[in-house]
């Protein structure tokens, strides 16, 4: 009986070792970044164009990845359902994740400027409008879904945290915002103002993206991506 191998399967041990290493890197990038195009995968894995095309074809034959809208994604992150019950389970999971997203203010540093750039809590108005609760313990899992299913939103969150940390370093060392009547030290007011403007703009952009995502789930679109608490449903 002749043994059958998937396409692009190397028969030499050295070739198999390189194949396994490349595939592992590709799967890691897709796990960490969500859907990626060929160019982004090449940049993050340093795999040559012709080689990565063969690797992706191999992973597709194994049923581990799929290409949609010119981007590759893990089959595990692609939500398709065998029946209405599986769909309802994932939709219910998404509604709990929303409550985690509404707890975002507990995970972003709150540096409120004393002038010109008020930065109110994120999503408070939307939460009251939808009359939904908050579950802080769900935030880490919501963040996993953002990272694997909505990389653009996840990147905005990272940018927001970074700029607020920079602002916190500036205002937390005795500058004008820690005590408006205190010493100025060596902090430059203009630099702080620029950071405040940047933080305000990024927070607004993040809030818009999160509201759009929340409304999709409210309108019965399950969350993309995956997390450690995702229900174990069969993928059809």
Domains defined for the chain, CATH in brackets: 13-77 (1.10.10.10), 84-218 (no CATH)
pTM higher than 0.85 for the full model? Answer: no
Q: What angle do CA 43, 46, 48 make, to 5 degrees?
A: 100
CA dist., res. 17 & res. 10, Å (int): 9
Mean pLDDT of the chain: 75
Overall average pLDDT of the 72-87 stretch:
70
**In this model, does residue 175 exceed pLDDT 60?**
no
Total count of residues recorded for the chain = 236
Specify the pLDDT at position 116. Answer: 41
CA dist., res. 156 & res. 221, Å (int): 22
Which range has the worst mean pLDDT, 74-78, 170-174, 180-184? 180-184
Specify the pLDDT at position 140. Answer: 92
Task: Using the structure block, give the residue that is written with the tokens 């403007």.
Answer: 197
Confidence of residue 76 (pLDDT cuts 50, 70, 90): low
CA dist., res. 202 & res. 174, Å (int): 25
**In this model, does residue 209 exceed pLDDT 70?**
yes
């Amino acid at each position: 009986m002749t043994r059958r191998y998937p396409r692009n399967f190397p028969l030499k041990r050295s070739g198999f070792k390189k194949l396994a290493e490349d595939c592992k890197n590709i799967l890691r990038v897709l796990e960490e970044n969500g859907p990626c195009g060929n160019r982004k995968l090449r940049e993050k894995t340093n795999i040559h164009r012709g080689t990565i095309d063969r690797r992706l074809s191999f992973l597709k034959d194994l049923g581990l990845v799929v290409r949609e809208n010119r981007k590759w994604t893990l089959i595990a992150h692609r939500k398709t359902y065998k029946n209405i019950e599986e769909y309802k389970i994932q939709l219910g999971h998404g509604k709990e994740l929303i409550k985690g997203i509404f707890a975002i203010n507990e995970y972003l540093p709150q540096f409120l400027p004393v002038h010109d750039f008020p930065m109110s809590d994120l999503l408070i108005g939307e939460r009251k409008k939808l009359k939904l609760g908050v579950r802080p313990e769900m935030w880490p899992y919501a963040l996993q879904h953002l990272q694997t299913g909505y990389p653009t939103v996840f990147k905005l969150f990272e940018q927001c945290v970074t700029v607020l940390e920079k602002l916190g370093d500036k205002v937390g060392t005795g500058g004008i915002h820690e005590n408006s009547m205190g010493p100025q030290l060596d902090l430059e007011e203009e630099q702080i103002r620029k950071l405040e403007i940047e933080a305000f703009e990024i927070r607004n952009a993040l809030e818009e993206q999160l509201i759009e995502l929340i409304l999709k789930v409210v309108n019965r679109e399950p969350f993309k991506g995956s997390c450690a608490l995702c229900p174990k449903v069969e993928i059809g």
